[in-house]
Structure 1
Amino acid sequence: MRIAVVNNFFPPRVGGSAHMSASLAAEYAAAGHEVLAITAAYGDAPADEQRDGYRVVRLPAAKMPQLGLSIDFDMSFASLKPGNWRRLWKLLDEFKPDAVHLHGQFFDLSWLAGFYARRHKLPVLLTIHTLLISDNKLYGRVFRVLDAVLVKPVLKYIRPRYVILDKLGVDYCVERYGTSDANSEYFPIAVDTGHFAKPVTKDVRAELELGDAPLIVSLGHVIPLRNRLPLVEALPAILERHPGVRVIVVGRVYHDAFLKRAEELGVAEALVVTGAVPKEDVPAYFAAADIVTHDLNGGCGTASLEAMLSGTATIASVTEDNYPGIELRNGENILLVRPDDAEAVEQTVLSLLDDPALRERIAARESAMVRANFGLDVVAEEHLRVFTKLVADHDVP
C-alpha cells in the first residue's frame, strides 16, 4: 500500500501526536508499505528528507500567535501560505496514495488532505489527539462553537474512519461529531518500546547535582490543561515528611501559574524547570525518577505511558475503563487519582516514597501492562489491519 500520513505536528517538533504519527509512519514503512509524511515547516528542519524508510515533506507555514488558550503552544498553519493547497495536492497526485492517515481533526493540513481524499474517493483514517475543551468557560463555549460550525461540517464531508484513543475521546467524539462504533476504531496511544530499550543518554541526577534525593519527574509542556497545580499544591505535605524531595518539570512552560503558586506556598526551591529536552533524552529523566506525575488534570497521555513502560512508578488521572478493551486496575498495574485532586496526589506520592518495595512492584506491573497493550508494534499492526480492509473494500466495484 501507499499511505500518506498527514499531521501539522511532526518531529523534530516534540509532542505526543508528533511522535506517534512519525512512529506509525516508520512502522508502516518497515512493514513494506510506501509512506509519504506531509507536515508543516518547523524551525530548521529540512523541507524534504528521507527518515526511517519514508519521505517527509514540510510545507511552508505561518506560526499562530500565542493567545493564552488551553491548547496554546507553537502551532503552525500551512494554509496561510499562498500556494500550499496546490503544493499539497500535487504531492498527493505524484504519490498516488491508496489511503490517507490524518492526525488531528482541526488542523488545516488534515482538512486539505481530507478534501483531496474525498475528491479522489480514497479511504481515510483520522486519529483524534487533542480535544477542543477548556476549563475556562468562555474558551469552552468558543471551542464548542468552533467544533459545531467548522470542524463537524468538514468531517462530515471528509467521511473518515475515526481512530479514538481513550474513553474521554469516545464521549467527546460521540457528542461533538456524532461518531459511533460503525465508523470508529478504538486503538490506544502507541508507545515506542524500542526507544526505551536503548542505553540512557546521560545521568540526570549528576547533571543537576541532585544526589540520591527522592525525585519526582513531570514531563510534558505546561499548558492550562496540564498545569502542574495539583502537584504543587501537594508539595508542602510531601516535603514535610520527605524534606529532600525534588521535582523536575520537563517541557516548555506556556502557563506559569504553577511557578507562582509554588512561590506562594514556599516550595519553589524544590522545583527544577528544564524546558524542552530532545526526545532521545526522555528515557534518562524517567530512569532518574522515583515517581512520574504529568497527567494530573485528567488524562494519561504519551509521556505517562512512556514513563510506565520505562519501569518508573507513574500517577495519572483517568478512570479504570479509560481505554476500551484494556483493563486498568488502580494500585496494581496503574496508579490513578481524581483529576485536580491535590490531596489524592499527596497521599499517593507519600505512599510510594514511604514504601520503595511497593513502588517497584507497581512500576513493574505498569511496564508490563503498557508493553502488552500500547506497544508500537501492536498498535501499528491494528492500524495496518484496518487500512488493508479499507483499501480492499474501496477496490471492490
Structure 2
Amino acid sequence: MRIAVVNNFYPPRSGGSAHLSQHLAHKYAQSGHEVLVLTATYGDAPAEEVHGGVRIVRIHAWTLPKTRFAANFDIGFTSSPKAKSRVFDLLDEFAPDVVHQHGQFFDLTWLSGWWARRRGVPTLLSIHTRLETPLSKFNDFVYTVADRILVAPLMRMHRPKVVVMDILMDRYIDKRYRRAISGKVSIPVGIDPEVLRGGEASGIRKELGLEGRRVVVSIGHVIPQRSRIALVRALPLVLEKFPDLVVVVVGGVYHDEFLHIAKDLGVEHALITTGAVPQARVPDFLAAADVEVHELEGLGFGTASLEALAAGTPVIAAIETDNFLDILVEDGRELYIAPPVSSREPRADPSALAGVLMRVLEDPAAARRQVSTNAHRLIEEHFTIERVAARHLEVLEELVSAR
C-alpha cells in the first residue's frame, strides 16, 4: 500500500500525537509499505527529508496566537492558498491508497480530507484531543461551538473511519461526530517500550540536585487538561511527612496557574520545571523518579503515562478502571488510582491524592515491586507499537479493499 500519514505535529516536535504518528509511519515502512508524511514546519527542521524509510514533507506553517482557547499552546497551522496547492500536488504525485490522519481540528487533516473526497480515497482519522474541558464553562462552550460549526462539517466532507483510543474518546466521538464519520475502530495508543527502559538516573539526579531526595516526575506539557493543580494542592500535606520531596515537571509550561498556586501555598521550593525535552531524555527522568504523576483531571491516560508504566515507574492517575474499554486496570495492580473529588467531578481530590502519594513514597521500592510486573505485562500484551501498528494496518487494508 501507499500510505499518506498526515499530522500537523511530528518530530522533532515533542508530544504524544507526534511520537505515535512517527512510530506508526516507521512501522508501516518496515512492513513494506510506501509512506509519505505531511506535517507543518517546526523550528529548524528541514522542509523535506527521509527518516526511517519515510519521506517527510513539512508545509510552511504560521503559529496560532497563544490564547486561553488554545491553552497557550504553539499550534502551527498551514492554511493558505499555497498550502492547499502544495498538499494537493504532493498527494496527487504520491497517489496514496489510503490517508491516515492525526488530529481532527488541524488544517492538514482538512486539506487531506478535501483531497481524499475528490479522489475517492478512504481516510482513517486518529483523534488525540477532545475539544472539551470541564475546567472552564466558557472555554467548553467555545470548543463545543467550534466542533459543531467547523470540525464536524469538515469531517462530514470525507467521512473518515475513526480510531477510538479510550472510553472517554468513545463517548466524545458519539456526542460530537456520530453523523460525520463512517464508523469507529478501537485501537489503543501504541508505544515502543524498549526505548523507555534502561534510563540512567544518576545524570538527571546530579544535574537537578536530586541526590538523596524523594522524586515525583510529572511528564508532559502543562495545559488546562493536565494542569498539575491537584498535585500542587496535595503538596503541603506530603511535604509535612517528606520535606525532602521534589516534583520535576518535564514539559512545556503553557498554563502556569499551578506555579501561582504553589507560591500561594508556600511549596514552590519543591517544584522544578524543565521545559520541553527531547524524547530521548525521557527514560532518564523516569529512571530518576520514585513515581510519575500528571493525569489528574479525570480526562484519560495518555502516552506519557503508558511510557512510565513501560519503564517500570509507578504511576498515579485519576482514571476509570475501564478507561481502555475492554482492557481493565486495577488500583494497586498495574498502577495507583487517585480517588476523584466526586462522581460528578472526576478530577483527583488533592487530599486523597496526598494520601496515595504518601503511601507510595513511604517505601518507593515496595511500591514499584507491587505494580511493575503487572504494568510490564499490560504494556506487552496491549500497547506495544508492534501490536498497535499491526492493528492499524489491518484496518487500512480493509479500507483499501472496500474502496
**What is the 5 A alignment of 1:3-22?**
3-22=3-22
Partners of 2:181 and 2:57 in 1: CA distance: 33
Given that 2:251 and 2:275 are in contact with CA atoms closer than 8 Å, whether structure 1 keeps it comes out as: yes
**What is the 5 A alignment of 1:187-206?**
187-197=187-197, 200=200, 203-206=203-206
- The DSSP-based 3-state class of the residue aligned with 1:4 is strand
Are residues 1:347 and 2:378 paired? no
Task: Flag structure 1 segments of 5+ consecutive residues without an equivalent.
Answer: none
Given that 2:6 and 2:39 are in contact with CA atoms closer than 8 Å, whether structure 1 keeps it comes out as: yes
AA matched with 2:125: L
| Displacement of 1:66 | 0.3
Given that 1:39 and 1:59 are in contact with CA atoms closer than 8 Å, whether structure 2 keeps it comes out as: yes
Q: Assess, with a 3 A threshold, how the Cα gap between structure 1 residues 225 and 199 changes in structure 2: closer, same or farther.
A: closer
Partner of 2:109: 110
Partner of 2:344: none
**What is the 5 A alignment of 1:1-397?**
1-69=1-69, 71-79=71-79, 81-134=80-133, 135-178=135-178, 183-197=183-197, 200=200, 203-298=203-298, 299-337=300-338, 338=340, 339-356=347-364, 357-394=366-403
Q: Assess, with a 3 A threshold, how the Cα gap between structure 1 residues 369 and 171 changes in structure 2: closer, same or farther.
A: same
Map Cα deviations across residues 199-247 of structure 1 (whole Å, 9 max, x no partner): 5497210111211211000011111111101111111111111111111
AA matched with 1:91: L
Partners of 1:181 and 1:112 in 2: CA distance: 17
| Displacement of 1:82 | 3.7
Partners of 1:251 and 1:182 in 2: CA distance: 36
| Displacement of 1:129 | 0.5
Partners of 1:245 and 1:311 in 2: CA distance: 20
Q: Assess, with a 3 A threshold, how the Cα gap between structure 1 residues 259 and 353 changes in structure 2: closer, same or farther.
A: same
Quote the sequence identity (%).
Answer: 45
| Displacement of 1:340 | 3.4
Partners of 1:259 and 1:212 in 2: CA distance: 24
Partners of 1:201 and 1:290 in 2: CA distance: 11
Map Cα deviations across residues 314-343 of structure 1 (whole Å, 9 max, x no partner): 011110111122121122112212223112
Q: Assess, with a 3 A threshold, how the Cα gap between structure 1 residues 127 and 193 changes in structure 2: closer, same or farther.
A: same
Q: Assess, with a 3 A threshold, how the Cα gap between structure 1 residues 270 and 255 changes in structure 2: closer, same or farther.
A: same
Partners of 1:343 and 1:359 in 2: CA distance: 22
Task: Flag structure 2 segments of 5+ consecutive residues without an equivalent.
Answer: 341-346
Given that 2:295 and 2:318 are in contact with CA atoms closer than 8 Å, whether structure 1 keeps it comes out as: yes
AA matched with 1:389: E
Partners of 1:39 and 1:188 in 2: CA distance: 23
RMSD between aligned residues: 1.6
Further displaced range: 314-323 or 199-208: 199-208
AA matched with 2:220: G
Partners of 1:22 and 1:57 in 2: CA distance: 13
AA matched with 2:387: V
AA matched with 2:363: D
Given that 2:101 and 2:123 are in contact with CA atoms closer than 8 Å, whether structure 1 keeps it comes out as: yes
Aligned length: 393
Further displaced range: 181-190 or 110-119: 181-190
Given that 1:200 and 1:281 are in contact with CA atoms closer than 8 Å, whether structure 2 keeps it comes out as: no
TM-score (norm: length of structure 1): 0.96
Given that 2:156 and 2:179 are in contact with CA atoms closer than 8 Å, whether structure 1 keeps it comes out as: no
Map Cα deviations across residues 52-100 of structure 1 (whole Å, 9 max, x no partner): 1110000001111001226431101101x34110110100011010000
Given that 2:312 and 2:368 are in contact with CA atoms closer than 8 Å, whether structure 1 keeps it comes out as: no
- The DSSP-based 3-state class of the residue aligned with 2:402 is helix
| Displacement of 1:182 | 7.0
- The DSSP-based 3-state class of the residue aligned with 2:216 is strand
Partners of 1:129 and 1:272 in 2: CA distance: 28
TM-score (norm: length of structure 2): 0.94
Q: Assess, with a 3 A threshold, how the Cα gap between structure 1 residues 182 and 4 changes in structure 2: closer, same or farther.
A: closer
Q: Assess, with a 3 A threshold, how the Cα gap between structure 1 residues 60 and 258 changes in structure 2: closer, same or farther.
A: same
Partners of 2:51 and 2:202 in 1: CA distance: 25
Partners of 1:86 and 1:121 in 2: CA distance: 18
Partners of 1:284 and 1:17 in 2: CA distance: 21
